[in-house]
């Protein structure tokens, strides 16, 4: 199991916790929580794979994803207070998660021979669409359409990956530059409250 | 035409009526009603097939589904009072519907060589996702995330199917044990107001 | 590049503007606007292709769609006042758009060997589902479920296409009769405030 696999599962775990927190706010039951946690964690990659025709989608043949998500929901429910105190830690792992998801999605599209600009979109979809579906299911306008820079960090990170790849840079360097670019931009955005211009 | 086919069409008909009732509450027009009835009746199986890559999805090559749905909408509109009086009957057929849909979805995934735990998820998707999309379209938080045990009945029924199948039990027995398990749990849940614990 | 390609891109452009206007109403940021504009413009065709299994979906291998959409968003933001004054023009191009999209979707399904009645549904999906997803994302009950005749124009136009085709009428005649039927019905619906009966 590679480091990227481990980070992927960590990202899945943290995204599932964020889904559980949204489910709690809407007073859903345990099944509702597992469902919302699942779409948050794997909804982005599922949409990516459906659009690309990379079916069965990634979690069908690898039940580990659903197991991780169930464990994450159980953890959030059993250790409610601890999770509430972990806000900063969760934020950091969420940031790590979008970095890793951006890389995984961009790379998967590239391996399928998709044009570079669409690879970047697929990477961003992987990272952000789960949250979009979570908010839509919970009857909110998706948060990332209004909050601090989030998807933009993924778009930039994916672009960096694609550009470095065009110059035949070593894969490991492409990967980590992509992930750290996403993380760096997201952390700066939060620190300095950077937002995209709103339409008015 | 097998008994399962007949039950499948009955389930489709009843789910379409439930979609029409939701459309009426939101004061939609006839097209809106047919659309919402369709996603309620075939949205679960459509999502299942897209995720599994079993495309074109099941209703594309068999227009009977859309015809049944249109008839169900016409029936609900023309016999509004009768439908209103049939609440218990509709509930019983809805319960039959989720039993049959769970079986159909679980079996389809199994025939495609999907791992057992994911087969159970696919069966449950088939039975419940139509209602989830219906509620999301109608701008409500999905009912099944909060109401009496519903998806759980499907998960248990699907598990029973998968387990019996592992022991090489006769197909007919697997099928009907699955369907009656779903129906039994759902009826008990309603009778005794069983709910899953809510997150708080 | 054929005339249909040009009209397709015009339709995409106008649908993207309509998505941007919806995003402005919800006070989304630029990324939210591009996302909502994209689902409005290409969400219908994306759903069609996923359901049919025509993957990767149409815009994956042709980045022109996303480029046109980005230009449309930039145009709406930079020339806000002009766009506000163009309401009638935008309406006319939107009407042209649903005509062309209906034709494209119906024809694509037909070329894949889908039964005629489902071809009509696929054409209508192409034209109207983008707006449905736009409204769902923006947390509104989809407008076309209640407003003046819209999807019905597409259903009739698609039916005309399929029927003419059955009689081996020349392709060009089928195409333009389909498109002008959709446009004609939609214009009449607006002029005379024709609506479908509401469910009550």
Q: What is the ipTM of this complex?
A: 0.91
Q: Residue A152: its chain C contacts at CB < 8 A?
A: 31
Residues A138, B59: Cα–Cα separation, whole Å:
29
In chain A, the N- to C-terminal Cα span, in Å, equals 48
| Mean of pLDDT over chain C | 94
Residues B31, C152: Cα–Cα separation, whole Å:
7
Tokens in use for A140?
A: 């909110």
What's the pLDDT score for residue B197?
87
What's the pLDDT score for residue B43?
97
Mean pLDDT of C115-132: 96
A95 pLDDT tier (thresholds 50, 70, 90): very high
Residue B71 has pLDDT above 80, yes or no: yes
Q: Do C145 and B26 touch (CB under 8 A)?
A: yes
Residue C86 has pLDDT above 90, yes or no: no
Half-sphere exposure of C105 (CA within 13 A, CB side): 36
Q: Do C20 and A199 touch (CB under 8 A)?
A: yes
Q: Residue B138: its chain C contacts at CB < 8 A?
A: 141
Percent of chain C with pLDDT over 90: 82
Q: Residue B118: its chain A contacts at CB < 8 A?
A: 59-61, 63, 66
Largest interatomic CA distance in chain C: 50
Residues C84, C64: Cα–Cα separation, whole Å:
26
Residues C128, C121: Cα–Cα separation, whole Å:
10
Is the C-alpha dihedral spanning A104, A109, A111, A115 positive or negative? negative
Instruction: Supply the DSSP string of A103-166, one letter for each residue.
Output: HHHHHHHHHTT--HHHHHHHHHHHHHHHHHHHHHHTTS--GGGTSBS-HHHHHHHHHHHHHHHH
List, for residues B150-162, the tens digit of each pLDDT value: 999 999 999 999 9
List, for residues C1-24, the tens digit of each pLDDT value: 799 999 999 999 999 999 999 999
What's the pLDDT score for residue C174?
96
List, for residues B82-127, the tens digit of each pLDDT value: 988 888 888 999 999 999 999 999 999 999 999 999 999 999 999 9
What's the pLDDT score for residue B110?
96
Q: Residue A24: its chain B contacts at CB < 8 A?
A: 199-200
Q: Do A141 and C136 touch (CB under 8 A)?
A: no
Residues C30, C32: Cα–Cα separation, whole Å:
5
Only one residue has tokens 């998801």, namely A101
Q: Do C145 and B60 touch (CB under 8 A)?
A: no
Tokens in use for A138?
A: 């919970």
| Mean of pLDDT over chain A | 94
Q: Do A50 and C55 touch (CB under 8 A)?
A: yes
Residues A44, A133: Cα–Cα separation, whole Å:
8
A191 pLDDT tier (thresholds 50, 70, 90): very high
What's the pLDDT score for residue C144?
86
For C119, the closest chain B residue by CA position comes to B60
* Alpha-carbon radius of gyration of chain B: 16
For A112, the closest chain C residue by CA position comes to C56
What's the pLDDT score for residue A1?
75
Q: Do C121 and B57 touch (CB under 8 A)?
A: no
Percent of chain C with pLDDT over 70: 100
C44 pLDDT tier (thresholds 50, 70, 90): very high
Q: Residue A36: its chain B contacts at CB < 8 A?
A: 145
């Amino acid at each position: 199991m590679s480091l990227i696999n481990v980070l992927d599962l960590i990202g899945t775990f943290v995204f599932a916790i964020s889904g559980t927190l949204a489910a709690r706010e809407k007073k859903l039951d345990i099944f509702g929580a597992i469902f919302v946690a699942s779409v948050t964690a794997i909804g982005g990659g599922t949409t990516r794979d459906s659009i690309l025709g990379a079916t069965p989608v990634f979690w069908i043949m690898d039940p580990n994803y659903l197991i991780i998500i169930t464990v994450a929901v159980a953890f959030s429910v059993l250790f409610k207070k601890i999770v509430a105190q972990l806000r900063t830690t969760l934020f950091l792992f969420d940031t790590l998660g979008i970095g890793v998801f951006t890389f995984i999605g961009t790379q998967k599209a590239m391996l399928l021979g998709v044009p570079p600009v669409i690879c970047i979109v697929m990477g961003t979809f992987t990272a952000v669409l789960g949250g979009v579906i979570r908010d839509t299911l919970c009857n909110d306008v998706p948060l990332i359409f209004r909050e601090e820079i989030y998807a933009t960090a993924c778009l930039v990170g994916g672009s960096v990956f694609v550009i470095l790849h065009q110059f035949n840079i070593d894969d490991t360097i492409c990967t980590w530059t992509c992930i750290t670019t996403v993380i760096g931009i997201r952390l700066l955005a939060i620190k300095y409250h950077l937002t995209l211009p709103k339409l008015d």
